[in-house]
Amino acid sequence: MKEINKLTDQAYQFFEKKEYQKALDSIAEAEVRIDNLSTDNLSAKEFSDMKSSLLNFKGFNFLAINDIETAKVCFEESLKLNPNSSQGCAGLGEVFYLVNLDTESKVMFEWAIDFNPLNQFAISGLAKVNKNMGLPPNHNTLNLETTLKKSHIFYRLLGSAYQLFNESKFAEALDKIDEAESMFKINLKSNEEINKIATLENFKGFNYLALDKYTEAKDCFERSLSFNPDSSQACAGLGEILYLEGNDKKAKTMFEWGIKNNPANEFARQGLAKVNQNLGFEETHNSIDEEK
């Protein structure tokens, strides 16, 4: 697992430098190592999640070099492993958009948003394909009643919250998030709505962190985990709070769980690196890997 994490980190560094072929080479090495892991080291779900995440990452690299057909295969394979992958849906949405299949593109971007309402790539993708079709940016046909009565308001509020966050207007962003979240609190019906609230709680938590309100941030991340015990961002957020409080050992554990739940969580990886440095470990040292 340690080598897999190193290869994934390396791939992300290459991707950020736009050295896409080198990134793909590192991803290929990571995939081989995952395939060679025994079932004693990796559960079926962990295997599927890791493979799905790498396939999505590989797909976006192929999109970057304009190999649309290979990217399409990557995203389709990812969705076979994890049908609820927001990034897999968003990737396919982009593939269909690039080959002028606007209707198919719209559907995939809508599913991506449904699985993760904070997926900015999917939100931007839906807006551009809606523009091509002469529709409002947030028009969503997955559930017409919800779209007409609720979703357009929800995504407008969410978009405003992100803009305010990017402008460092964290208190104002929290007000918008609270408005968006209130739409789901009264009548929870589905796992998808519960996951949306978990994601919103994480977003609130990071706004509170930016305001140095650690107690409120901690409450948000803990509520997120109560809705979604596998939330990588909630684990990473709690890790950051523990780090800021000077509790490096407990912070390390939470960052490690953040990576376990989502190996592509760069915030968790950076957090683990800084606490490892404080504790005298290598940057990628992971106690969960050693237990395996």
DSSP 46-62: HHHHHHHHHHHHHHHHH
The span from the CA of 290 to the CA of 214, in Å, is: 31
pLDDT of residue 230: 86
Q: pLDDT, tens digit, for every residue of 185-237?
A: 544 445 666 777 888 899 999 999 999 999 999 999 999 999 888 888 999 99
- Residues sharing a CB contact under 8 Å with residue 134, sequence separation 6 or more, in sequence order: none
Q: How many CA atoms does the CB half-sphere of 163 hold within 13 Å? A: 7
pLDDT of residue 93: 94
Count other C-beta atoms under 10 Å from residue 88's C-beta.
28
Q: According to DSSP H, which parts of the chain are helical?
A: 2-16, 20-35, 44-64, 68-81, 86-98, 102-115, 120-132, 144-146, 152-166, 170-185, 191-210, 214-227, 232-244, 248-261, 266-279, 287-291
Nearest partner of 71 among 83, 58, 82, judged by Cα: 58
The span from the CA of 102 to the CA of 128, in Å, is: 10
CA dihedral of residues 159, 162, 168, 174 (deg, nearest 10) = 90
pLDDT of residue 143: 45
The span from the CA of 289 to the CA of 121, in Å, is: 31
pLDDT of residue 180: 82
pLDDT of residue 208: 96
pLDDT of residue 213: 96
- Residues sharing a CB contact under 8 Å with residue 85, sequence separation 6 or more, in sequence order: 52, 56, 78, 79, 115
The span from the CA of 53 to the CA of 49, in Å, is: 6
Count other C-beta atoms under 10 Å from residue 100's C-beta.
9
Count other C-beta atoms under 10 Å from residue 98's C-beta.
14
Determine the residue type at 119: N
Is the CB of residue 150 less than 8 Å from the CB of residue 156? no
pLDDT of residue 152: 58
If the chain, 292 residues long, is cut into consecutive pieces of 10 residues, what is the mean pLDDT of each piece? Answer: 82 92 93 75 77 93 95 93 89 93 87 84 93 84 47 71 87 91 59 75 93 96 90 93 95 94 85 95 85 54
pLDDT of residue 41: 65
pLDDT of residue 145: 39
Nearest partner of 46 among 262, 270, 281, judged by Cα: 262
pLDDT of residue 190: 57
Q: What is the pTM of this model?
A: 0.53
pLDDT of residue 151: 54
